[in-house]
Amino acid sequence: MRIDIVTLFPEMFEGFLNYSIPHRAQTKGRAEVVLHNLRDYSLRKNRSVDDYPYGGGAGMVIGVEPIANCIEHLERERRYAEKVFVTPDAPVLDQPTANRLSLCDNLLIFCGHYKGIDERARQLFFTQEISIGDYVLSGGELAAAVLTDAVLRLLPGVLNDETSALSDSFQDGLLTPPIYTRPEEFRGHRVPEVLLSGHDGKIRQWRYEQAVEKTRRLKPELLAGMEE
C-alpha cells in the first residue's frame, strides 16, 4: 500500500518511519510512505498557509486553498480509498478501523496544526476524520504516526510470525493474557506452573481465562457486546 502524509513538519516522521515495524514494512516492499510539505502548495510568496480566524478568537487557521491545491495535485497521480483528516474532534481510532484501512491501496493522511483547518476543507476534501484519543496534542503529526503504525503492522508479510497480529490485544475483542520468559523464578515470583507444563490444551485454556479476566477488570466495555 501507499500512504501519502501531508504535514507542515515532515521531519517529525523521519525517526519513526525508519525504525522497527514501520521501517520493515517499507524495506520489505509492502508499503511506501511519502511525506508532503503543505507549504509547497501555498500560493503566497512567503509560503504561509495560515491566517486569522473570521469572527475573531485566538490562534491561526490553515486555509482551504493550500489544502485544495495539495490534495488536487496528489489526486491527479492516484485515487485514494480514504482521505483521512486527523483531528481531536472526531471518532477515536480503534482496531476495526485500523484493520479496514490496512486493506486500502492508497491512503492520504492530512495533519492539521495551529487552531485547526478551515471547515470548508473538512467538508470538501476528506472522506474520514480520526482522533487518537480524548486529549489535545499540538498537531496531527503524532496522531498520523500512530495511525500509520497501526496500519503498517497489519500488512501481510510485515510481522515475522504471520499469526502475531491476530494475537494482538483487541483482534479477538479481548486484551492479551500475561506473558513470561526466563527465568522461571525472579525474587520469589514464579512463572505460572501451567505455562511450564507443556500441555497445549491447558495452556490455551489458561490464556483464554486470563484474557477474559483481564478484559473484565480493565476494559469491561469490550465484553459488553459478547455476552449475549
Question: What does the binding site for ligand 6GU look like in residue numbers (CB under 6 A)?
Answer: 86-88, 131-133, 135-137, 139-140, 143
Residue 60 or 212 having the CB closest to ligand 6GU: 60
Residue 33 or 144 having the CB closest to ligand 6GU: 144
Q: SS3 sequence, 189-202?
A: EECCHHHHCCCHHH
Residue 133 or 183 having the CB closest to ligand 6GU: 133
Residue 70 or 144 having the CB closest to ligand 6GU: 144
- At 48, list the grid cell: 504561509
φ and ψ at 74, to 5 degrees? -65, -35
State the nearest-atom distance from the C-beta of 125 to ligand 6GU, in Å: 16
Residue 94 or 209 having the CB closest to ligand 6GU: 94
State the nearest-atom distance from the C-beta of 210 to ligand 6GU, in Å: 31
Residue 139 or 173 having the CB closest to ligand 6GU: 139
Task: Using CB positions, name the residue nearest to ligand 6GU.
Answer: 143
State the nearest-atom distance from the C-beta of 45 to ligand 6GU, in Å: 28
Q: Give start and end residues of each alpha helix (H) in the chain.
A: 14-17, 20-27, 64-77, 95-101, 119-125, 141-152, 200-218, 220-224
Classify residue 168 by its DSSP letter. S
Identify the burial level of 135 via C-beta atoms within 10 angstroms of its C-beta, where 0-12 means exposed, 13-18 middle and 19 or more buried: exposed
200 vs 127: CA distance, rounded Å: 46
State the nearest-atom distance from the C-beta of 112 to ligand 6GU, in Å: 7
List CB contacts of 162: < 8 A, sequence separation 6 or more.
Answer: 156
State the nearest-atom distance from the C-beta of 172 to ligand 6GU, in Å: 26
Rounded alpha-carbon distances, angstroms, from residue 171 to 10, 65, 154, 200: 31, 40, 11, 21
State the nearest-atom distance from the C-beta of 142 to ligand 6GU, in Å: 8
